[in-house]
Chains A and B, each alone.
Chain A
Amino acid sequence: MKIVLETRSIQKYFYSPQKFQVLDDINIKIQQGEFVSISGKSGCGKSTLLYVLSTMDLDYEGELFIDGTTMKAKTENQLAIVRNEKIGFVFQFHYLLNEFTVLKNVMLPALKLGKFTKKEIEHRAYEKLKALGIEDQALKKANLLSGGQKQRVAIARALINDPLIIMGDEPTGNLDKKNSQMVFEIFQKLAQDFGQTMLVVTHDPEFAAGCNRIIEMADGKIV
């Protein structure tokens, strides 16, 4: 199996208010098609780890490999391209742009990537929305949708570039029971039916239980 993401002894410190080690010797490997969750108590460093893995947080020691290449030597621009091409994000908050329609929100990362023509991208975005059952909302402004719908749009946006890995930071954290369940089902379906590699930070034990593998963290270490 191909290894999508690998870390070698990642360490990270917070310096304010005082020096504090948040991540201690993190070594993980995520293979293609795995549905992995990182769980642990609040403050154990699981989100911090995710943002290091997301290439957005550059302040760490150790090595991070995505798709076999190290991220350490890359410039900000190159990292942006990596995120655009290889990583899809689903956060606790949906982060949709209210100025745009749902469809445009989904299309944005693909337009940035520029691999397909605008027409093809539009078609693909429709496909993703359809798969998530919200294609009828496509032409609405993003702020007119319900919380659950918005999160589904965010998932569609994460999928648009067919990323190597989807990273989620408490993707159900802001949702009620019913919507949480639905989002969880979407993730499971993605893992089972499409073999989508996923790495999700969650403190919801039910969510974690549904994954292939659980990485348990405590005090900055994997236990």
Chain B
Amino acid sequence: MKISLLLNIAFSLLFSRKKQTLVAAVGVLFGIAAFITLLGFMNGLNDLLDGMVLNRTPHIRLYNDLKATERQPLEMAFPDTNTSHFIRSVKPGSGDLKIYNNEAIVSALKQDKRVIGVAPKVSTQVFYNVGSIDIAGVINGVEVAEEMRLYRFADYVSGGNPIDISLVPNSIILGKLAAEKMMAELGDVIQVTTASGERSTLKVVGFFQSGIQDFDKVQSFASIATTQKLLGKESSFITDLQVNLNDIALAPSLAIEYSRIFGLDALDIQTANSQFETGSRVRSIISYAVGITLLIVAGFGIYNILNMMIYEKMDTIAILKATGFSGADVRFIFISIAMLIGLAGSLSGLICGYLLSSLIDQIPFNTAALPTVKTYPVNYDLKYYVIGALFGFLTSYFAGYFPSRKASKVDAVVIIRGK
């Protein structure tokens, strides 16, 4: 009863100054809408840019690195801890990149609850033969279905169906820039030479375009079987295991664990791509800062209208106090006015922000680098809407706090005697 009475008074005061109220609410609306749009757009771009690399990167990559054996035979022969070994000019031993017993490892990984998927891969260096010229490149033998599921492979393939590499024997998806250099069209047959000198012909069934030039110039994709055949290796020849996890944050610790269990080298995504996370974070901080600044400006709008209202409504405050409303009641009334303005502004701001975001989402954005992106990217994460609304309420509360404190301290005697 009491609160509803105070709110009723707040509403009446609010509606007696419709135009000012509207201006103040529009201030908040603008702040929140800009906040939502800015963050949605900025994070859409962040996701896009990060996705260019992070989507394509396994959370953990297991492989055999070319390196010297950590425990040299000499150390095994003389394990005495009091002995120091001086071995000069240590070189890597066998250059074997094969992951032994990979089927067992794959099935062990697939049983791990923390793992979403495992995609085996064979990668090998080749030369693309264009007339008399050889262009260096890399062919990745992949399991297409798994690659599409875990790494959005299909998003980066233009012209042709990515599945074709597993259906058409001796087929290849060429890097877009490599294909341009070779002037290879869809359906053409190209020639490659492997490092060991074998020549093979492959049919082009699609183009791969990640948007990263150095990548697209070099990388091509074929099925695992095709690649193994190119290399003249048996069907168990796998050079990489790409592991994706439920929780990407676990990657560094799991990398160490897997490395120990399987006796392989492991590289986690954070170590491989730490610069991306830093970039996204800085961009987010900038957009938060701009958005919050806008909201603070809107807060000053509310502060102004309340201050004015208090000067205008001195009589009202005085009589309310004389007839038995306490200072706290008066403060509650004016805080409610601020919050009502904030609420109206925030809600309409959220809607406007959403509409603006979807408008940006419609603007064509055609870039040669990203074949599947047709419009500007926007992130609609609910998080930004919640934060926006929260900051809207918070600014209006603080904008209302000081004026309403002043209102609560108005001395009724001074006002009434002054008449």
Contact = CB atoms under 8 A, between A and B. Distances in A.
Contact of B1 (A85, A89, A114): A114
B84 interface: no
B413 A97 contact: no
A206 interface: no
B323 A157 contact: yes
B319 A114 contact: no
A92 B323 CA distance: 15
Interface string B69-112: 00000000000000000000000000000000000000000000
A80 B12 contact: no
B315 A112 contact: no
A83 B12 contact: no
Interface residues of B, number: 27
A96 B316 CA distance: 8
A74 B416 CA distance: 22
A100 B12 contact: yes
Contacts of B1: 111, 114
Contacts of A14: none
Interface stretch (B157-165, B324-332, B379-387): B324-332
A47 interface: yes
B17 to A, nearest CB: 10
A99 B13 contact: yes
A80 B419 contact: no
A157 B9 CA distance: 16
Contacts of B416: 51, 56, 91, 93, 95, 169
A40 to B, nearest CB: 16
B2 interface: yes
Interface residues of A, number: 31
Given A57-B413, A169-B416, A99 B15 contact: yes
Secondary structure at the B interface, as helix, strand, loop or mixed, is: helix
Contacts of A113: 324
Nearest to B315: A95
Contacts of B282: none
A98 B313 CA distance: 10
B419 A89 contact: no
A143 to B, nearest CB: 11
A51 B413 contact: yes
Contacts of A91: 322, 416, 419
Nearest to A111: B5
Given A76-B327, A83-B323, A95 B13 contact: no
Interface string A56-96: 11000000000000000000110011111100010111011
Contact of A112 (B12, B324, B417): B324
B369 interface: no
Interface string A86-128: 0001011101111110000000110111100000000000000
Given A97-B319, A99-B13, A111-B5, A92 B324 contact: no
Given A54-B322, A76-B326, A99 B419 contact: no
B132 interface: no
Contacts of B323: 83-84, 89, 108-109, 112, 157
Q: From A82, A96, A109, name the one whose CB has the most chain B CB atoms within 10 angstroms.
A: A109
B2 A112 contact: yes
B254 interface: no
Contacts of A93: 315, 416, 419
A167 to B, nearest CB: 10
19 contacts: A56-B322, A77-B328, A80-B324, A80-B329, A82-B324, A83-B323, A84-B324, A91-B416, A91-B419, A93-B315, A93-B419, A95-B322, A96-B319, A99-B15, A100-B12, A109-B323, A111-B1, A113-B324, A114-B2
